[in-house]
């Protein structure tokens, strides 16, 4: 299982609402993530809106592409669009900056 860290940036003034939305992620979206291979998935935030995501998956690109054509993902990404900075016409899930793992302690 591969451990993946990634970063995104939420508009600082939208961070509280973004957090609230994530207290009730749609059940269909949660099921789709699981079916696409997303496990042990967490999102962390700093006060300035920087997000750090962590997920364990066999293949991150496959997990992303497994969500790509799903209607529920398209709806979720459209709903999330207003929260993010610098999307450059892309969906939030297309702008995840994958980080290189530098150290891990079991």
Query: Mind telling me the catalytic residues?
Result: 22
The H-assigned helical ranges of 15-83 are 15-21, 27-35, 60-68, 71-80
Residue 91 CA to residue 40 CA, distance in Å, equals 22
Separation in Å, CA 50 to CA 6, 7, 8, 29, 47 = 11, 7, 6, 22, 7
Tokens of 51: 């997000």
């Amino acid at each position: 299982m591969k451990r993946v860290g990634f970063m995104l940036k939420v508009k600082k003034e939208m961070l509280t609402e973004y957090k609230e939305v994530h207290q009730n992620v749609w059940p269909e979206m949660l099921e789709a993530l699981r079916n696409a291979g997303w496990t042990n998935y967490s999102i962390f935030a700093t006060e300035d809106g920087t997000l750090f995501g962590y997920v364990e998956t066999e293949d991150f690109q496959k997990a992303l592409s497994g969500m790509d054509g799903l209607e529920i993902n398209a709806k979720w990404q459209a709903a999330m669009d207003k929260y993010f900075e610098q999307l450059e016409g892309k969906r939030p899930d297309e702008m995840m900056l994958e980080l290189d793992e530098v150290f891990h302690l079991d």
